[in-house]
Amino acid sequence: MLRLGIKQKNWLLSAHVAFAALWTGTVLSMFLLALRNQHSASAEVLQALNSAINLLDDYVVIPAAIGSLFTGTLLCWLTIWGFFKHYWVIAKWIATVALIVFGTFWLFPWANATTAISETQRLQALENPLYNFDAKGVLVGTIVQVVCLVVIIAVSLLKPWGRRTVKAQEQTNSAPAS
């Protein structure tokens, strides 16, 4: 099987870390904008902040999340870490995919809805229950994503659970051929 050399692995790992940092920082920025947006007194500010959240989601978070998943896949495939050899890799995979699914089916639609409502209803959007629900969803969803991403980064650095032992595989590999 093809394996990366040390320099190639380090470049790929650097790209993976960069994508994760970009994803985390941008979602934190979205949270801060959503937090500031709760107290908008101007229709222009309300719409601008919603638009900024939407743009960050569309043009930074989505590519960074995909880049993180893609580089993580390559690291698993092309290094000794593998996909299922280590508990920490499995945990990162599950968490990353869960965050991408959450962002795709909940956070992204909430951000789009707040932008659309604030564009049409202006400052009256703050009195719209649907707008308030979606705005709270963006606020809570972004902080959940930031916390999860920080945990994923910590797991990457600490590698707390180590290597899996798979007894069925070991017995099959050590059994003499007939």
What was the pLDDT predicted at 54? 95
Q: What pLDDT score was predicted for residue 80?
A: 80
Tell me the H-state helices in the chain: 6-37, 43-56, 62-78, 87-102, 108-121, 129-158, 167-174
pLDDT of the residue at 164:
72
In this prediction, residue 170 carries a pLDDT of 52
pLDDT confidence of residue 65? 97
What pTM value is reported for the model?
Answer: 0.85
* pLDDT score, position 176: 56
* The pLDDT value given to residue 16: 96
Indicate the Cα dihedral angle 87, 88, 90, 96, nearest 10°: 160
User: Which residues of the chain are under the pLDDT cut of 70?
Assistant: 1, 166-178
Query: Could you name the CATH architecture of 6-162?
Result: Up-down Bundle (1.20)
The residue ranges of every structural domain in the chain are 6-162
The reported pLDDT for the residue numbered 79 is: 85
Residue 40: predicted pLDDT: 87
